[in-house]
Amino acid sequence: MYTFQEIVTQKSLDNDVSFMFVEGDRDLSFWRKVIPITERNNTQIIQIRSLSDLDAVEGGEKGRLILLSNLFQEHGLSERIRVFVDADNDYISSKEYTESVLLTDFRDLEAYCFQDACLNEFFETGLAKSNIDVQKIKENLVSLSLPIGFLRYVSEHEDLKLPFQKSFDKNGRRKFMDRKQPIIDRSKLVTTLLQNAKVSVKECDRILGTLDDLTKTFETFEVRKIIQGKDWLFFLGELFDIPSDQVESQLFLALDYDSLTDFTNVRAACDFVCAA
């Protein structure tokens, strides 16, 4: 465990040392594969919960990382500090941060797995299944996950605080899913979220209209910047009768980490860590 002041003191004693802070265990595992410890040049990669004196803020671990970035900037230390965080809705919102904040190239870390090579490896090696139409699977996952992705944005943008976690508890997404299509029953989903948030269900039609507008506006937008990993991982598990936690671990095992430096922000993080 560290305190913020201990990091500041370490920086003052050794100006060449650098830090990249990340959200959690999955992020640490991800970066161990992308940048092995032997390739890091006087740079430590630390998860945010290792800082014991940084108060909880709105936005969870990402919020704490953004707060940390601002604190380092106030102390004039941002040049040797980076935080790598999930973009969440920031690409849709066109939200910008200081240069010390690196966003995932898509909505979240799981989105790096939403590519043909990784999914093919997942099916062929992880599940020992051949002749899987990966393009069709991706289309189905987008069909199921995109409305939820837009709903997450609407909830944040309008400060509705829709309780997705509560509504999706115990495989809750399943009750909104039509396996035959496959599609999401948007009306049922929005109504359930409004009820659980204790917001008038009269808002349902307006929100559905907003979803239609967003679908048109972002028709050519990169879907990996909209769909959330937890959503499409769950639906992938549902389509193949696999628990979503097993889907996650298998996908990250199937990921070609050497290829990730083709992505702009992963490359920027690598350049910072290896050249610091």
13: Cβ–Cβ under 8 A, 6 or more apart, which residues? none
Examine residue 122 and state whether it is found in any structural domain, yes or no: no
List, edge to edge, every strand of the sheet that includes 43-47.
43-47, 18-22, 81-85, 101-103
Examine residue 80 and state whether it is found in any structural domain, yes or no: yes
- Tell me which residue range forms the domain holding 180: 128-241
Which tokens in the block code for residue 6?
Answer: 């201990």
Of the two residues 121 and 181, the one the predictor is more confident about is: 121
Q: pLDDT of 220-249, one tens digit each?
A: 999 999 999 999 999 999 999 998 889 999
Do the Cβ atoms of 101 and 88 come closer than 8 Å? no
Examine residue 174 and state whether it is found in any structural domain, yes or no: yes
- Tell the residue number behind the tokens 């972002």, with chain if given: 218
Examine residue 116 and state whether it is found in any structural domain, yes or no: no
| Residues 201 and 266 grouped into a single domain | no
Which tokens in the block code for residue 131?
Answer: 């002749």
**What distance in Å separates the CA atoms of residue 124 and residue 250, rounded to the nearest whole number?**
11
Q: pLDDT of 109-163, one tens digit each?
A: 999 999 999 999 999 999 999 999 999 999 999 999 999 999 999 999 999 999 9
Own/partner pairs, 176-179, CB within 8 angstroms, 24+ separation: 177/144, 177/235, 177/238, 179/238, 179/239
Examine residue 193 and state whether it is found in any structural domain, yes or no: yes
Examine residue 45 and state whether it is found in any structural domain, yes or no: yes
| Residues 137 and 216 grouped into a single domain | yes
| Residues 100 and 167 grouped into a single domain | no
| Residues 98 and 168 grouped into a single domain | no
Examine residue 62 and state whether it is found in any structural domain, yes or no: yes
pLDDT exceeds cutoff 80 at 26: yes
